[in-house]
Amino acid sequence: MQPEKRSNSESILEVKGLKKYFPVSRKHTVKAVDDVSFEVYEGETLGVVGESGCGKSTMGRAILYLQPPTAGQVTFNGKDLSTLKGRERRKLRKEMQMVFQDPYGSLNPRMTVGAMLGEIVRTHRIVPKHEVANYVRELLVDVGMKPEHADRYPHEFSGGQRQRISIARALAVQPKLIVCDEAVSALDVSVQAQILNLLRKLKQERHLTYLFISHDLSVVKHISDRVIVMYLGKIVEMANKHDLYAQPRHPYTQALLSAIPKMGEEKRERIILKGDVPSPLAVPSGCPFHTRCPIAQKVCAERKPEWHKVGDGHYVACHFA
């Protein structure tokens, strides 16, 4: 949204060579996230798109150390998370929060909204004890709820309202970065628009930075400044959103964009990918996309494509882009 501002702003989060492997048996490991590096600049929204199983959610959790990464470095505001332990890490966690996908599973069903938010506020001593109740009520109003909702249990709310509560929880500790993991995916269109607007408003008011993970390319385009496209645990393309959506370079990005059903458009020629996403247990050699790629050549199965620059801030991993 403000490209000129971004160019001279600092990176708030730096991810370097991040890997997250899950052993499934003695011989096999799922490489859910495989050697991913990128930066998030302060005040921007970095979108992460990809289909199920591409590792985008695992990546979000590894960055927050909810599932500690297998290898790699996560540096937040100059501090390397891997060197921090226990209390120190928890303190840094205060700066990085997460909004989860499932508005039903992500709230403790046996705690009132007020109790849940109050617990977090007290844990981090955000405000003096006697102001906690007030702070919680203001927080609820900030996310578009009513102060008296603090006394209710999660099951008394609709999906959209629960997602507002989830956002309030993330905001409670006054973080700098929020990872939104499919935060609007489970919602109806009209409610989704409400939540997207809320996220936008909060970002401006509180100078937040978002890492916005979603499978929905339209939503990501709407909210992001820059976008990362992931496929089978790897980043295949990264660019500022205008470049990415106007001139996608990676054949996968092109296919993704072509596959979205668009409203009110005449029937058109589309790139329809053949076959399924390969199992993450058996990631194809060379370029992981070569099994479905419409322009794949012999070299694609043999050699991993280089991550190279194709434009201002536009990077792609493809032999032919």
Partner 1 sequence: MSQTNAQTAAPYPNRLESSPRLRSLKKALGRFFQNKLGVAGGLFLLILVILAIFAPWLAPYNPMKQDYMAILQGPSAKHWFGTDDLGRDVLSRIIYGARVSLKAGIISVAIALAIGVPIGLISGYFRGFWDEFIIMRITDAMLSFPSLVLALTLAAVFGAGLNNAMLAIGLVYTPHFIRLVRGQVLAQREREYVEAAIAAGISHWRIMLRHILPNAWAPIMVQATLSVAGAIISEASLSFLGLGTQPPTPSWGSMLSEGQGYITQAPWIAVFPGLFIFLAVMSINVFGDGVRDMLDPKLK
Partner 2 sequence: MSEPLLKVEHLDVGFKNRKSFVKILDDVSFDIQPGETVCIVGESGCGKSLTSLAIMGLLPPGGRIAGGKIIYNHEDLTKKSAKEMSNIRGNEISMIFQEPMTSLNPVHTIGKQVAEAILIHQSVSKKEAWDRAIELLRLVGIPSPEARVKNYPHEMSGGMRQRVMIAMALACRPKLLIADEPTTALDVTIQAQILEQMNELKKRFGMAILMITHDLGVVSEMADKVIVMYAGKVVETTDTKRLFQNPRHPYTQGLIASMPRLDKEVDELPIIPGNVPAPEDMPTGCRFSTRCPFATELCRTKAPGLYGDEAHRVSCWMYTNEWAGGGQEHATGETIKL
Nearer to partner 1, 114 or 305 (CB): 114
Cα–Cα distances in Å, from 318 out to 60, 159, 216, 245?
24, 40, 23, 17
Contact residues for partner 1, defined by CB under 8 A: 61, 64, 66, 90-91, 93-94, 97-98, 100-102, 105-112, 119-120, 123-124, 141-146, 148-149, 151-153, 157-158, 160-161, 164, 166, 169-170, 172-173, 194, 198, 201
Cα–Cα distances in Å, from 307 out to 105, 235, 265?
38, 9, 34
- Cβ 159 to partner 2 shortest distance, Å: 8
- Cβ 279 to partner 1 shortest distance, Å: 22
152 binds, among partner 2, partner 1, none (CB under 5 to 8 A by kind): partner 1
Question: Six-digit token pair at 105?
Answer: 């599973």
Nearer to partner 1, 159 or 313 (CB): 159
Nearer to partner 2, 83 or 247 (CB): 247
Contact residues for partner 2, defined by CB under 8 A: 1, 51-52, 158, 160, 188-194, 196-197, 200, 215-219, 221-223, 245, 255-265, 267, 270, 272-273, 275-277
**CA 159, CA 270: separation in Å to the nearest integer?**
34
Cα angle for residues 159, 57, 71 (degrees, 5° grid): 150
Question: Six-digit token pair at 77?
Answer: 């505001």
User: Torsions phi, psi of 307, nearest 5?
Assistant: -85, 105
128 binds, among partner 2, partner 1, none (CB under 5 to 8 A by kind): none
**Residue where the block lists tokens 């927080």:** 139
Nearer to partner 2, 125 or 189 (CB): 189
Quote the DSSP letter at residue 130.
Answer: G
Question: Six-digit token pair at 152?
Answer: 């209710």
